[in-house]
Amino acid sequence: MTTAGKPARKTPKKTGQDDGVYQAPESIEDVQKLLRNQVYISDRALAVPIFLAMKLQRPLFLEGEAGVGKTEIARALANGLGTKLIRLQCYEGLDINQAVYEWNHTRQVLEIRLMEASGDVDREAANADLFSEKFLVKRPLLQAIDEAEEKPPVLLIDELDRSDEEFEGFLLELLADYQITIPELGTFKAKHPPIVIVTSNRTREIHDALKRRCLYYWVDYPDYQKELQIITARIPDAPRKLAEQVTAFIQEMRQTELFKIPGVSETLDWLSALLAMNQTELDPSVIDDTLGMMLKYQDDIESVKGEPVRAMLERSKNRGPRHGGRRG
Ligand SMILES: Nc1ncnc2c1ncn2[C@@H]1O[C@H](COP(=O)(O)OP(=O)(O)O)[C@@H](O)[C@H]1O
Ligand SMILES: [Mg+2]
């Protein structure tokens, strides 16, 4: 390794629990309030692991179906804390070059040409210069532990289930000590470990080793009360009655056998569509017309259109506020 004999570029610093670099919420209620100010509705069950993740400086692993609000948690948390959100969107084939760092080859080549043109090339000096930070492209994971970050950012590693297992292994190492070694430069170590949120839509299982390092929380579909709160917070202009009917209907729809159950995103999209159509109440035909806002598979749409929608709408009437959100 080229680092042999070279002092580490960054001196590892001990990071205390209370560096006072950002105002961490003092209680679970504070976490809820902080998120609420960002129009994110959280129940206590979710606020507890978020609070602990910050307090214990442990990554938080959020698992759940698509559209239940996992990604949004990281965004709301970063905004609420007034810190940067650094997002790494995972995908198949994601590698170190895209996740951690890469050398800017084009600029390096250009620099070599300039050096050659100017005549005197000291090989050693040129080499050191070409592999200096100037030519380093920092990708999300390196950005998140970069010493230059004064406040610990929120690092969102989104949809980890999409990446390969090899990448998961690398991540495990990173989360162990929040440091990254670049052979030509030395070791980068986070002054303040970032607040790490890992999400998965569970298209595959994530290894136990990684889960063990994290606090775990399953983000479920919201119940009637919570979903109504979410949509009234997000779309405050919606008439109350319509918001209630939409929530009750979606809750009912989630009981149906479907290829893809609608998430909160779909509820919000659907309600916006109904508002755009100046609808103030639900009726079977308008639901049929707008099924594409809730269901994203033609087979699902076909399977509920017509009579099943009518029946669901009837049943959903037992879910309203007078029924405590439950079917009576
Ligand atoms: N508890 C919540 N409070 C406010 N908005 C929410 C909540 N849950 C979900 N949403 C909204 O639902 C949408 C989908 O959320 P997202 O975080 O993208 O889901 P996921 O990452 O789980 O697929 C976003 O527009 C988000 O704002
Ligand atoms: Mg997401």
Q: What is the mean pLDDT of residues 46-55?
A: 97
* Cβ contact 192:149 at 8 Å: yes
Q: Give one DSSP letter per residue of 34-87, joined into a string.
A: HHHTTT----HHHHHHHHHHHHHT--EEEE--TTSSHHHHHHHHHHHHT--EEE
CA of 218 to the centre of ligand 2 (A): 13
Q: What is the mean pLDDT of residues 87-96?
A: 96
For the stretch 276-328, pLDDT in tens is: 999 999 999 999 999 999 999 999 999 999 999 999 999 999 887 666 544 43
- Give yes or no for residue 251 CB within 6 A of ligand 1: no
The whole-angstrom separation of Cα 33 and Cα 25 is 9
- Give yes or no for residue 270 CB within 6 A of ligand 1: no
Please give the number of the atom of ligand 1 that sits closest to the Cα of 72: 17
Q: What is the mean pLDDT of residues 171-194?
A: 90
Fold of 28-97+139-218: Rossmann fold (3.40.50)
pLDDT at 60 over 90: yes
- Give yes or no for residue 70 CB within 6 A of ligand 1: yes
* Cβ contact 171:199 at 8 Å: no
Give domain limits for the chain: 28-97+139-218, 101-136, 224-323
- Least trusted range by pLDDT, from 5-9, 66-70, 71-75, 248-252: 5-9
CA of 202 to the centre of ligand 2 (A): 11
Amino acid at 321: P
Q: CB-based burial of residue 253 (10 Å sphere; 0-12 exposed, 13-18 middle, 19+ buried)?
A: buried
For the stretch 238-282, pLDDT in tens is: 999 999 999 999 999 999 999 999 999 999 999 999 999 999 999
- Give yes or no for residue 266 CB within 6 A of ligand 1: no
Judged by its nearest atom, the ligand closest to the C-alpha of residue 42 is: 1
**H or E segment and range at residue 112:** helix 105-118
The whole-angstrom separation of Cα 248 and Cα 150 is 46
